Amino acid sequence: MHGRTHAQYGVWLAAAPLLAALCAACCPEPPENTFAESFEYGGLMRRYEMYAPPASDPAAPAPVLIALHGKEQSIDDLRRVTRFNALADAHGFVVVYPEAYDNNWNDGRAVPGVAAYDLNVDDVGFVWAVLERIALTRSLYSARAYLVGFSNGAMMCQRIAFEQPQRYAAMAGVAGAIPANVTDALTPAVPIPVCMINGTEDSLLPWEGGLLTPQDPQGVVLSVPDSVGYWITFNQCPAEPVVETLPNLETFNCTTVRRYTYGPGLLDTYVVLYAVEGGGHAWPGACWLQGLFMRGRVSRDFDASAAIWGFCSQFTRSAR
């Protein structure tokens, strides 16, 4: 936990519902147009929600963004923090929010005592099964299916990108890295564009990687530079990036954002890293209250949701 005690982490979890409610009050959402469904997959009852812009035509193919929440985070929490529904209204895509089994994705870390790992839950297959079910009643532009996640959800996206890169056009993650077990066991079949957004002072997912929360071990992850480096090498992108310092729009949050762009690589893939210097375990650009329950400074110098859509929407799977 990078210096925090297990008891302090417990206090944070106990306070999270109240803080999430405060965040909900200051983060209005567009009118609901959400479909929710539960179904059996892999012997377990699983659930997801889907949001489609009210003016969209179910018969017209739409791009789809699959958004994976973090550990102990709900679909509601992720939706409010990211405001992906409003972004979907503006750009005409569908957002799908799968729900983790027992609030944890099986991202490959294999931590004893966590149901998703102990049961070896097939979350890679579950996410794809959700898209297949939606496609029965709504037309999806399958060549423009994008993965995005936060924290444990971001690491789940990394695992999916290793196992099924041919099914998704791009992947993005906030406050996540590659679990070490994934690189030990898997090799992607094809290149995939990757965007990572990480804070250099993230206390839950340390920039330098290693064993997470040593007092209550949560597995081993690669460092952020090594995670980015894996995709640069695999996609055969140029080793030297284009580096840009983003405008410092809010000086009081004590963060600076640098964007590192590597590419083009094989099949015109790119790898992008937003390094939030001074940033914590948070979603940049979202309500400042998330800093209380997502831990650490929240950068307001850019909107991570808009940046992710801007990155992902450039790519189509058919180009690979």
pLDDT tens, 74-113? 999 899 899 999 999 999 999 999 999 999 999 999 999 9
Dihedral sign from CA coordinates of 170, 171, 174, 180: negative
- Assess whether pLDDT exceeds 90 at residue 292: no
pLDDT tens, 167-188? 999 999 999 999 999 999 999 9
Q: What pLDDT is recorded for position 24? A: 53
Per the model's pLDDT, the better-predicted residue between 263 and 288 turns out to be 263
Question: Could you tell me which residues come within 8 angstroms of residue 212 by beta carbon, excluding any fewer than 6 positions away?
Answer: 109, 204, 205, 206, 218, 219, 220, 221
Percentage of the chain exceeding pLDDT 90: 78
Q: What pLDDT is recorded for position 286? A: 84
Q: What pLDDT is recorded for position 296? A: 84
* Six-digit token string for 209: 């990687």
Domain spans of the chain? 6-229+275-319
Arithmetic mean of pLDDT, 1-20 = 47
The structure tokens 């012997």 sit at: 43
Arithmetic mean of pLDDT, 184-207 = 96
Pick the CATH number of 6-229+275-319 from 3.40.50.1820, 3.30.70.270, 3.40.50.10860, 3.40.640.10: 3.40.50.1820
- Assess whether pLDDT exceeds 60 at residue 18: no
Per-residue pLDDT band for 213 (boundaries 50, 70, 90) equals confident
* Element counts in the chain: helices (H) and strands (E): 10, 12
Arithmetic mean of pLDDT, 33-38 = 90
pLDDT tens, 42-77? 999 999 999 999 989 999 999 999 999 999 889 998
Q: What pLDDT is recorded for position 12? A: 43
DSSP string, 284-317: TTS-TTHHHHTTS----SS-HHHHHHHHHTT--G
* Six-digit token string for 288: 């400042």
- Assess whether pLDDT exceeds 60 at residue 294: no
- Assess whether pLDDT exceeds 90 at residue 3: no
Q: What pLDDT is recorded for position 15? A: 53
Q: What pLDDT is recorded for position 226? A: 98
- Assess whether pLDDT exceeds 60 at residue 14: no
Indicate yes or no: pTM above 0.95. Answer: no
Q: In the 8-state DSSP scheme, what is residue 101?
A: G
Distance in angstroms (rounded) separating the CA atoms of residues 124 and 122:
6
- Assess whether pLDDT exceeds 80 at residue 208: yes
Which residue from 220, 197, 190 is spatially nearest to 208, judged by alpha carbons? 220
**Average per-residue pLDDT in the chain?**
89
Q: What pLDDT is recorded for position 302? A: 96
Arithmetic mean of pLDDT, 282-289 = 80
Q: What pLDDT is recorded for position 216? A: 80
Q: What pLDDT is recorded for position 1? A: 34
Distance in angstroms (rounded) separating the CA atoms of residues 178 and 85:
27
Which residue from 37, 94, 89 is spatially nearest to 65, judged by alpha carbons? 94
Per-residue pLDDT band for 214 (boundaries 50, 70, 90) equals confident
